[in-house]
């Protein structure tokens, strides 16, 4: 049994999610191993305090109450607020589990244990904790939730833990990186297709009138925690309404969301895009099998993008193909083409962002500080594993940007992509070759210098484009190809 905890690794999108949204789950700093094991063993002998689900995968425990717990909120103005108790939470987890496995076409077999700890005392600003640990016979997971919580947050946390458990079944050394759009898309799909409440709570004494927030004349009632209007709508009804009124996200923005995506309106758009993307991805007959394959190969891949392309190889040859497919899906779904090309200034800004990395650097004995790095700095100063991680992500972002890029900038983007991909291909063939002194071989150093020179030349072309955009901002959409800095740079060389 390992003594160190394997906390779920946080990719860029999830890290941003934790920083900018209190609605989502955070990664716990620790799990009490003795508490985890003893609670699982006592699940069947301590009713009321500890309960287990029918499949045996979930164990629900209520933490001891120290101090005065907050008053129970039964306000009809918060119809999605749930009051959790172990016995009903076990049933709720089992419902969510069954529907998720059905959605993915996964056989109903018991997975590794997931311990859900209900905390009566919960600081208002604290996020839901999800942590994973590898034991001698497999993985164990722990989710800490407040006793009073919104239903969507519960469903999201359970879905995240279940999907991670599926992905980690073939991993023995590290917890897998699951893309945010995948878990959030599944969460929204489950919430949209529910015919009854997912999270049960004790009876509150009958139905209560709920304020009609939509302004409709139809009365809205809450019965046992359910908001119901007597109208059965399609699973994508809310997503269609959201994306018809707001510009949808590109696949790059789904994969690497920024701060704007975690604000109120931006987060709703992200949720709608994620649900639509996952729903359309799983819709073909082979879709569920491909999604299962992606989860199965995640432990063997450096990142989820590689696993995704392996699993969906028959559908997508590259991330650029994914972006094109997604653009077509949005046009068909909303009836509007949101994918006009960006103007020159916006395209340059997007390209600049894609060619910068944010990394933690330690220059003194002080704590590491975040700093922006260029591909040249990554190639010149970092090891190949780190280079591959950063540069592969950059290539993915460049592929995603290209369909909407200002047309005259496309050759420049292609040149960046070709240079970075060529470096990774050549560097991979040379492997980790070292000379007799244990230093990087001269051939590898030569490859790095040549690549840096090519990137420097491309940066000069990009700077020329930027200068022209600053001088002629209003003429950006009508640039003459004959006067483009790319062509001028090519002729001068």
In a domain, 4, yes or no: no
Q: How confident is the model at residue 221 (pLDDT cuts 50, 70, 90)?
A: very low
317 & 263 share domain: yes
94 & 28 share domain: yes
269 & 364 share domain: no
Mean per-residue pLDDT of the chain: 77
Last residue of a domain, one of 305, 334, 363: 334
Assigned token pair, 233: 């709508």
In a domain, 229, yes or no: no
Least confident of 15-19, 123-127, 328-332: 15-19
Q: In the chain, pLDDT over 70 holds for what percent of residues?
A: 70
Residue 308 has pLDDT above 90, yes or no: yes
Last residue of a domain, one of 334, 352, 384: 334
Return the higher-pLDDT residue of 212 and 338.
338
pLDDT at 11: 36
In a domain, 354, yes or no: yes
In a domain, 98, yes or no: yes
In a domain, 56, yes or no: yes
CA of 88: how far to CAs of 51, 226, 323, in Å? 9, 15, 42
Residue 8 has pLDDT above 80, yes or no: no
Return the higher-pLDDT residue of 8 and 31.
31
303 & 350 share domain: no
414 & 486 share domain: yes
> How many CB atoms within 10 Å of residue 460?
12
Last residue of a domain, one of 334, 361, 383: 334
In a domain, 440, yes or no: yes
Give whichever of 23-32, 65-74, 312-321 has the largest mean pLDDT.
312-321
Assigned token pair, 201: 């709570």
Inter-residue contact 466 to 333 (CB < 8 Å): no
pLDDT at 433: 52
Region 64-88 average pLDDT? 69
Number of domains in the chain: 2
In a domain, 46, yes or no: yes
Helix H, strand E, coil C: the string for the chain is CCCCCCCCCCCHHHHHHHHHCCCCEEECCCCCHHHHHHHHHCCCCCCCCEEECCCCCEEEEECCCCCCCCCCCCCCCCCCEEECCHHHHHHHHHHHHHHHHHHHCCCCCCCCCEEEEEECCCCCCCCEEEEEEEECCEEEEEEEEECEEEHHHHHHHHHHHHHHHHHHCCCCCCCCCCCHHHHHHHHHHHHHHCCCCCCCCCCCCCCEECCCCCCCCCCCEEECCEEECCCCCCCCHHHHHHHHHCCCCCHHHHHCCCHHHHCHHHHHHHHHHHHHHHHHHHCCCCHHHHHHHHHHHHHHCCCHHHHHHHHCCCCCCCHHHHHHHHHHHHHHHHCCCCCCCCCHHHHHHHHHHHCCEEEEECCCCCCCEEEEECHHHHHHHCCHHHHHHHHHHHHHHHHHHHHHCCHHHHHHHHHHHHHHHHHHHHHHHHCCCECCCCCECHHHHHHHHHHHHHHHHHHHHHHHHHHHHHHCHHHHHHCCHHHCHHHHHHHHC
150 & 115 share domain: yes
Q: Which domain holds residue 394?
A: 344-492
Query: What pTM did the predictor assign?
Result: 0.62
286 & 384 share domain: no
Q: In the chain, pLDDT over 90 holds for what percent of residues?
A: 35
In a domain, 2, yes or no: no
103 & 131 share domain: yes
Assigned token pair, 371: 């700093």
pLDDT in tens, 234-265: 889 999 999 988 889 999 899 988 888 888 88
């Amino acid at each position: 049994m390992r003594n160190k905890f394997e906390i779920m690794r946080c990719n860029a999108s999830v890290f941003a999610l934790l920083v900018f949204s209190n609605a989502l789950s955070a990664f716990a700093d620790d799990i009490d191993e003795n508490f985890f094991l003893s609670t699982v063993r006592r699940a069947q002998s301590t009713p009321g305090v500890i309960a287990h689900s029918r499949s045996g995968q979930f164990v629900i425990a209520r933490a001891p109450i120290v101090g005065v717990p907050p008053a129970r909120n039964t306000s009809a103005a918060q119809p999605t607020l749930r009051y959790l108790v172990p016995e009903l939470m076990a049933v709720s987890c089992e419902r969510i589990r069954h529907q998720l496995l059905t959605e993915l076409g996964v056989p109903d077999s018991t997975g590794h244990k997931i311990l859900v700890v209900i905390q009566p005392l919960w600081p208002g600003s604290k996020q839901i904790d999800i942590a994973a640990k590898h034991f001698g016979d497999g993985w164990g997971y722990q989710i800490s939730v407040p006793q009073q919580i919104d239903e969507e947050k519960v469903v999201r946390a359970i879905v995240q833990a279940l999907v991670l458990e599926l992905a980690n079944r073939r991993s023995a050394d590290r917890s897998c990186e699951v893309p945010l759009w995948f878990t959030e898309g599944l969460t929204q799909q489950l919430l949209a297709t529910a015919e009854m409440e997912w999270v049960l709570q004790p009876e509150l004494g009958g139905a209560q009138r709920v304020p009609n927030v939509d302004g409709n004349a139809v009365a809205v009632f809450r019965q046992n925690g359910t908001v119901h209007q007597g109208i059965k709508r399609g699973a994508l009804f809310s997503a269609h309404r959201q994306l018809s009124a707001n510009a949808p996200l590109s696949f790059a923005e789904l994969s690497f969301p920024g701060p704007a995506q975690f604000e109120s309106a931006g987060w709703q758009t992200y949720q709608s895009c994620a649900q639509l993307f996952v729903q359309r991805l799983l819709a073909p007959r082979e879709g569920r099998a491909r999604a299962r394959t992606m989860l199965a190969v995640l432990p063997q891949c450096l990142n989820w993008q590689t696993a995704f392309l392996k699993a969906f190889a028959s559908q997508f040859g590259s991330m650029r193909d994914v972006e094109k497919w997604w653009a077509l899906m949005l046009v068909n779904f909303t009836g509007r083409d949101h994918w006009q090309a960006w103007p020159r200034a916006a395209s340059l800004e997007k390209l600049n962002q894609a060619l910068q990395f944010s990394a933690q650097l330690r220059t003194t004995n002080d704590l590491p500080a975040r700093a922006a790095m260029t591909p040249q700095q990554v190639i010149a100063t970092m090891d190949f594993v780190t280079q591959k991680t950063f540069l592969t992500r950059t290539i993915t972002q460049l592929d995603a940007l290209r369909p909407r890029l200002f047309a005259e900038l496309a050759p420049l983007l292609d040149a960046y992509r070709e240079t970075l991909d060529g470096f990774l291909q050549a560097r991979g063939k040379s492997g980790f070759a070292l000379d007799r002194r244990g230093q990087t071989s001269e051939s590898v150093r030569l490859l790095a210098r040549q690549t840096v020179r090519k990137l420097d030349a491309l940066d000069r072309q990009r700077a020329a484009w930027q200068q022209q955009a600053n001088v002629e901002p209003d003429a950006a959409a009508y640039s003459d190809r004959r006067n483009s800095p790319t062509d001028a740079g090519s002729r001068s060389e």
